[in-house]
Chain A
């Protein structure tokens, strides 16, 4: 009877130790992979912030172009609202072409190149939408520029929306 008892107790003790070891090992593995996962998350956060900085630069570009060429923008907007598809396509290319980083020597391409020159990463920035929104209330009309800019760093893309009140003579 006793030897059986001994064997059972010894087996149980070894099993407990093995179980504890496995639990500790799982904890260690979880900690290790958690650290690796945190590193990846942090790298993504850095890329997203840099992409957002590029989107801010694109927003400055869009605002500057509007400040310099407001009449041309209103002409562009008029064509967008009333023009033929061909006219709309031509005017869109004419106005939005500066914000296309893939075309050589555009403003967007120059800023993208400049941002990447010191950083070493691959930047791109541009404008996705550039439109005039008019809201008519009781006795007033308000106009807003709706601009959506985007920036990307090493393929990670972030967008920025802005609604800027402008004065248009109706």
Chain B
């Protein structure tokens, strides 16, 4: 059954109007959407590189901390002569294990100072070592390390003292990395336990 021409014409007109209305509203919606999203995204785009930069630096700093700790542990484990005795240059093998690889490096000591380099990924970590005999000597000297104890042969209250004749070495390891990172600095002491 065919519909009258006038009805078809009305329908066409209405469809055209609807399309026109929809197109106009879509454009406004699109503009509002762009505006709102730009309001939110632009500050984020400015903040993201900063955030990634901070995260990257923190990762490097954490690696530097672990490298420094590992270097201190190595210097606590080598024979005492290696860090205290000789004035010439010495090389101490130094190994870093990451999750995927083993990185072999060296700690080069020259007298009381030393250096080392470890490269992990794109970051190069520079180690600086300072060894300093800090405490040793007779009781009156300013560097004396004095221990006290109760004389087992005397009365209980009698406290005796004993000045340490051996070295207490201060071991300091600084790890530098990148350009903006704050160097990691770790220090501890090692006693001469050879006797």
**Chain A residues within CB distance 8 Å of chain B:** 2, 6, 9-10, 13-14, 17-18, 20-21, 24-25, 28, 31-32, 35, 38-39, 42, 45-46, 49-50, 52-54, 56-57, 60-61, 63-65, 67-69, 71-72, 75-76, 86-87, 90-91, 94-95, 97-98, 105, 107, 110-111, 114-115, 118-119
Residue contact B65 to A6, C-beta cutoff 8 Å: no
Given contacts A35-B55, A57-B189, A60-B191, contact A114 B170 (CB under 8 A): yes
Partner of A110, one of B40, B145, B172: B145
Residue contact A64 to B164, C-beta cutoff 8 Å: yes
**Chain B residues within CB distance 8 Å of chain A:** 14, 17-18, 21-22, 25, 28-29, 32-33, 36-37, 39-41, 43-44, 47-48, 51, 54-55, 58, 61-62, 65, 68-69, 72, 76, 134-135, 145-152, 156-157, 159, 162, 164, 166, 168, 170, 172, 184-193, 195
Given contacts A14-B29, A38-B58, A53-B187, contact A69 B147 (CB under 8 A): yes
Residue contact A111 to B189, C-beta cutoff 8 Å: yes
Residue contact B147 to A110, C-beta cutoff 8 Å: no
Report the separation of the CA atoms of residues A98 and B190 in the bound assembly, to the nearest whole angstrom: 17
Report the separation of the CA atoms of residues A115 and B146 in the bound assembly, to the nearest whole angstrom: 18
